[in-house]
Amino acid sequence: MSITNFIQKIKGFMDSEEGRIIAFILIVILTGTSSFLLGRMSNSLKNKDNTCVNIENSNNNITTQSNNIKSIYDKSLGKANALDSISVSNQSGSYVASKRGKRFYPVDCSAASSIVLKNRVYFSTSEEAIQKGYSASPSCE
């Protein structure tokens, strides 16, 4: 079979109803795939340019770290932004509780991070927290 015969067969197939349907399906699949891949590439380029600073309180030591993420926290979700973290870093203690709650947590406990910054109360020891009327959280022992 020569190349010209092969091209003629392809042209004949594309002129048929089946050929048009298959060509349309291939165009839709290729367009969708290329759009998806272009979106992924543009998103990865955006993340390289947007660096944020993550500020943590670890026994009175403030550590900063660059992250390739769009934002650290969203205040509308009740979480702190970076400036709030700086103002709280002066408060220290090994345990934290909410002014509105009845439980206290170790500072490094994941449940403690859900306490709104303005409601946080810090304690040096668990005995101090118990004296103030708080009880230990069973989730972070």
Domain positions in the chain: 3-48, 50-90, 91-141
Angle ∠(25,39,22) on CA atoms, nearest 5: 5
Q: What is the pLDDT of residues 29-61, one digit of tens each?
A: 999 999 999 888 877 665 454 544 455 555 444
DSSP string for residues in the chain: --HHHHHHHHHHHHHSHHHHHHHHHHHHHHHHHHHHHHHHHHHHHHHHH--EEEEEEETTEEEEEEESSS-S--GGGT---HHHHHHHTT---SEEEETT-SEEEETT-GGGGGS-GGGEEEESSHHHHHHTT-EE-TT--
Q: Is the entire prediction scored with pTM above 0.75? A: no
The whole-number average pLDDT for the span 87-98 is: 69
